[in-house]
Structure 1
Amino acid sequence: MIQERLLEIYEILLCEFGRQNWWPGDSRFEIAVGAILTQNTNWNNVEKAINNIKAENMLSPESLYKCPEEKLTELIRPAGYFNVKAKRLKAFLKWLIENHGADIDSLESIYAGDLREELLSIKGIGRETADSIILYCLDKPSFVVDAYTARIFIRHQFIDQTADYEQIKELFEGALPEESKLYNEYHALIVQLGKNYCKKRKPLCDECPLGHLPRSLEEEY
């Protein structure tokens, strides 16, 4: 039943928005960097930061790791929270270089669950970022949960408003086929729905493609 309902929503959103072709990036490493920089900002700002890095010919693990932190913060300034993100990026690079020979392609051979544990052990790498790297960078099935996901599926009564990240992730992974392409597209479509209709303060329920589904707006999400 849950699987049918989630797949129905997926098809509705796909019909509404079309395929999103996430995640933008010319290489796996660029996608991983983008996943770290995109927290608490929009993608246009991340693109500016990545373009700054490219302009300095520094888009490689070794070059970025050797980059003085003061310079790195300036390069990624457009992404916001640049001091914090520089430290997170440096921690990720240190892990990648010391544990995997700076070879991001080598991560492909690691089981998704084990890789997630490794990523979460890196200071500053949270669950959403780890899952984004696993899914979008390495094409492994690990459903990404964000604020839009929680808001939409709490409002539509799939989950309780007290549900945490892991519980929401388990809802999707337990009900949907274990397919990275499905997880990828579904999360991208959820983001579009959240941005355009299921807004935090003034949701556009009457115009929403899911407006016909049962919902509750009694609480603020």
Structure 2
Amino acid sequence: MKLENMYETLRNIHGPQGKWWPGSEEEIIVSAVLTQNTNWKNVEKALENIKKDCKNNILHCLAKMSTQQISFLIKPAGFFNIKAQRLKNLLTWLKNYDFDLEKIKTKNIEEIRKELLSIKGIGKETADSIILYALELPIFVIDAYTKRLLNRLLGIKLKEYDQYRLLFETTYPKDVALYREFHGLIVEHAKMFCRTKPLCELCPIDSCRYKNAKD
């Protein structure tokens, strides 16, 4: 398999994923922080707590809360004190734009990304997730699953996050819907077959280098 065929191969196996990341733009921004070092079920519990307290305008509502109040609401997501502070830092940045995501979208992607990465606690994966899924701008999200699949399927192992990102962005057209679905397909495949201990005997990708190396 070549990287050029990876999207089509995964889509044929798992079917269309669509947007993949659930929730409104505001919920995605919050969940991008909450999902760090935890599973999605825990994120959902934390989001439910937030939505009970914040009926409308989640970002405005959270911005008015203390770090301690946020910490209590997001407790199910784990590392709640750290994540509460990260959320507060992110909310301070959003407040500069009056929480108007359309204002942020008028800037170019690199400028938005630079600002997000200057926020304490916001790393590249979180920043890119916000840009792609909440701001709906074309940037490819790289996570541990992506690195695993590239290594096992194609024998590609790079040093830097942005090397992986640019590899996808120079191979595939810059398209929000494509990047969203592709990222979703990678995660689905990694969870279903290409786990830490892979289920190679069940995986339908016969050209996998890792699988063939084990034969």
TM-score (normalizing by structure 1): 0.89
- State the match for 1:212 in structure 2: 207
Structure 1 residue 216: Cα displacement? 7.0
Would you say 1:17 and 2:14 are equivalent positions? yes
Contiguous gaps of at least 5 residues in structure 2: none
For 1:105 and 1:60, the matched residues in 2 are separated by: 16
Write the mapping of 1:102-113 to structure 2, written as runs, cut at 5 A.
102-113=99-110
Given the alignment, which residue of 32, 37, 50 partners 1:40?
37
For structure 1, the residue ranges without an aligned partner over 5 or more in a row are none
Backbone CA RMSD of aligned residues: 1.8
Give the C-alpha shift of residue 164 in structure 1. 2.1
What SS does the corresponding residue of 1:100 show, helix, strand or coil? coil
Greater alpha carbon shift after TM alignment, 51-60 vs 184-193 = 51-60
How many residues were matched structurally? 211
Partner of 1:6: 3
Structure 1, residues 91-131: CA drift from partner, whole Å, max 9, x if none?
A: 0000110x212212322211111111111011100000000
What displacement does 1:214 show? 2.6
Contact map agreement 2:3 2:154 (CA 8 A) in 1: no
1:197 and 1:163 map into 2 onto residues whose CA distance is: 25
Q: SS of the counterpart of 1:35?
A: helix
CA distance in structure 1 between the aligned counterparts of 2:28 and 2:102, rounded to whole angstroms: 12
What is the TM-score of this pair, normalised by structure 2? 0.91
Give 2:168's match in structure 1, choosing from 147, 167, 172: 172
Q: State the shift of 1:5 in Å.
A: 2.4
Q: Structure 1 residue 181: deviation in Å?
A: 0.9
| Alpha-carbon distance, 1:157 to partner | 3.3
2:111 and 2:212 map into 1 onto residues whose CA distance is 38
Q: CA deviation at 1:42?
A: 1.5
